[in-house]
Amino acid sequence: MISTEISKPVLPMWSRLHAWRAGLPKPTPWRMRTLHIPMRDGVRLGADLYTPVAPAKGVLLVAGPYGRGPLWSVSLARAFAGQKYTVLFASTRGTADSEGDLDPMRTDAQDGHDIVTWMREQPWYPGRFGTIGGSYLGYTQWALMSEPPADLAAAVVTMGPHDFVRHTWGTGSFRFDLVGWGADVGVPDDPNPVRSMRARAATRKQVDSVVEAVPVAPAAVEYFTGLGRAWMLPRLIHDDIDDPFYAPMRHADALEHSRVPTLLFAGWQDIFLAQSMRQYERLRERGVDVALTVGDWAHIDILLRGQPVIASETLDWLDAHLAGQGRSSRRRPVRVAVGGSGRWLEERVWPPAGVATTTWYLHADGGLGERVPAPDAASRAFVFDPARPTPTIGGNLISKGGRRDDSAYGTRRDVLVYDSAPLRSDLWLSGVPRVSLDHASERGDADLFLRLSDIDEKGRSRNVTEAYRRVRDAGTADITLNDIAYVFRAGHRVRLIVAGGSFPQFSRNPGSGENPLVAEILHPNRHEIRHRGGSSVLLLPIMPRELVAGLRPSASRDRSREELR
C-alpha cells in the first residue's frame, strides 16, 4: 500500500489504541506527506515523512520492503510520531512506489547511506538520528551500520538478521522460508481483505508445490520466472555462503564497526534467534552500549504478543539515547523471559554469570540422565528417508512456529528420543545447551536435527530449543542448540529428539552430497548413535539459585514503562 498525504494534524483511532495497549504515554497528533528520495544511480525511493505537531524530540529512519500501510506504520511510524519523533519511513527499491529493480539485500547498504545523505540536507534534520524496525526492517539497519554514519545516535533492532545468507544456507542445508518469503516480498497489499486472503492462500499452495518438488530447482525456476522474480534463482543454486555472489548481502562487519548504542529484541522461537544472540555477544565484547530483551515469542510476535514490551522499551531507549532525556530506565542491560515460569530474568550479561554445566548421558534404552553408560553399551539406529522426510513440528519458523505439541516425534521410526526420569525438583536453565553425539551414517553426507522438549505429567511433549546441522564425517558431532531460559517443572521429563531432517523447515538431504535443491535421486540414510562409556552427551546450563530467587513476575503491568523502572 502506498500512503496518501495527510496535511491536517491527525491522531487516528488505531494509533490511540496501539499506544494504550503498549502502555505508551498518550500520543500527540502528527502530519504525514509522501515524497521521493533520490539515490546515487538516479533511482527514487518512495517514503512517508511523519511530522509531530509538538516540537520533535528527534528523527527516526525506518526502511523496508513490506509497503507503508497500516500493518507496519501503526506500530512504527505512527506510533513514534505520536511520541513526538519525526519519522521517515522509506520503501526499499522495487517495492511499493520505489523505483528500481527488486533484488532484496543487494543494495540496502548503499541506499541507506544515500537516504542519510538526503536527510542531512532537509530543514527538519537536527544533526543526529536513530533507526528502528524489525525483521527486514532490522536488516536494513545492520546494512547501514556496516559503515555507521557518525550522526547515527541510537538503533533498535527487533528480530533482525545481519546475514540473510547464513540464515538460509549456514547449516549446510537450505531453509525453505526464503522460498515463501521470496514469493510474497514486495507484492502490493490488496485493500480488499477477502481478496488478499484468497491471494495469499493461492500463493501458499503454489509455494508448497515448489518446496515438495524433486528436484526443487526446476520447479522454482518455472515458478519464480513466471512471477518475474529471477533474482531468487541464483540464491537457490549458490550453496556456498562464502561465494562472492553473496558479499553485498552479508553485514557481519557491522558487528565489528558499529559503536551505536543498540537495543536488541529477540524471541526464543524466532527464526533469527541465533543471529540476535550473536549480535549481542559481539557488540558487548567490543564494549558497545548494547541491551538485549528476549521474549517467549515467535517471529510473527513482532506485530502481535511482543508489541507491548517492544514498543515501550523502544521508546525508553530512544528517549535516553537519541532525545537525551536522561538515562534508560532499564534495571539491567539483559532482560529475558524464562519459559515455563511466567517470569523475567534481568542480568548484566548473557549468559548470566555463575552458570554451571551439568552432563547428562544418552542411553541405549532411550534414557537420559547423569548415570554413565557401560563401556559396551549398545547403539541405536534410525533411517532417514528423504522421499518421506521427517516432518517439521513447531519451532523456529515464520508460520506455524513457536511451542507446539511435538509428541508425534516419539512414535516415529525415523526419530530417536531420549527421555529423563520425572524430575524430583524444578530444573532451571539459562544459557547455551550443547549436544555431543557419537554419530555415524551409511552415506557420508547427513543432516542432524536435535531438539530439547518438555514432557508434562500427562505425557505431552512441547518443544523448547533446537539445532540443525549437516555433518560429513563419522565420529563426534558437537552441536550447539539455540540459547535457552527455561524451567522444567518437577514431575516433568526432559526429552532430547534426534532425527535426520525437519521438512519443510529445511530441505531434505538427498544423501549424495549434492546441493539438495538440484538432486534428482534421493537415497535413504541409516544413522547410528553410539553410547559406549558415555560417548554421547547432553550438556545443560544450570541457572544459579540466586538468579532463580530474583526473577521478576510477568504480568500485564510489564507492558508499562513505569514497570521497567
* Residue 33: its H or E element: strand 30-38
Q: For residue 529, give Cα distances in angstroms to 52, 139, 312.
A: 62, 39, 47
Q: What is the mean pLDDT of each run of 10 residues along the chain (565 residues)?
A: 63 87 93 97 98 97 95 93 98 97 97 99 98 98 99 99 98 97 86 79 94 98 95 96 97 98 98 99 99 97 92 97 92 97 97 97 99 98 99 94 98 99 98 98 95 98 99 91 99 99 98 96 98 99 95 59 32
CB of 115 closer than 8 Å to CB of 60:
no
**What are the cell numbers at 249?**
548481502
Give, in degrees to the nearest 5, the angle at Cα 388 between 384 and 389.
Answer: 55
- 502 half-sphere exposure, CB direction, 13 A CA radius: 29
For residue 324, give the C-alpha cell. 537525551
Surface-to-core class of residue 457, CB atoms within 10 Å of its CB (0-12 exposed, 13-18 middle, 19+ buried): exposed
pLDDT attached to residue 71:
83
Q: Residue 421 CB: number of other CB atoms within 10 A?
A: 10
- Predicted local confidence at residue 1, as pLDDT: 43
Dist CA 195 CA 11 (whole Å): 29
Q: How far is CA 158 from the centre of its chain?
A: 8
Hey, what amino acid is at 104?
P
Grid cell locating 422? 520425572
Joined together, the cell numbers standing for residue 282 give 559481539
Judged by DSSP in three states, 407 sits in: helix
What architecture is the 356-543 domain classified under in CATH?
Sandwich (2.60)
Q: Give pTM, 2 decimals.
A: 0.95
Cell 537536527 belongs to which residue? 126
* Residue 376 in grid coordinates: 559396551
* Whole-number pLDDT of residue 446: 96
Distances (CA, A) of 440 to 161, 387, 401, 500, 530: 33, 21, 30, 12, 8
Q: Residue 124: CB partners within 8 Å, gap ≥ 6?
A: 49, 51, 56, 59, 86
Residues 6+ apart with CB under 8 A from 195: none
Closest CA to 264 of 143, 153, 163, 159: 159
Alpha helices in 151-242 (DSSP H): 164-169, 177-184, 193-212, 216-226, 233-237
| Whole-number pLDDT of residue 231 | 96
- Please check whether residue 389 is in contact with residue 503, taking contact to mean a CB–CB distance below 8 angstroms: yes
The reply to whether 6-174+239-344 and 356-543 are identical in fold is no
Chain position carrying cell 555431543: 436
CA dist 218 → 176, 252, 441, 487, 508 (Å): 15, 32, 29, 46, 16
Nearest to 403 by CA among 265, 539, 298, 255: 298
b/e code 256-266 from CB counts within 10 Å (16+ = b): eebebbbbbbb
Domain 6-174+239-344 class in CATH: alpha beta
Segments in 59-105 forming alpha helices (H): 70-73, 77-81
Amino acid occupying residue 234: P
Domain-by-domain residue ranges, the chain?
6-174+239-344, 175-238, 356-543
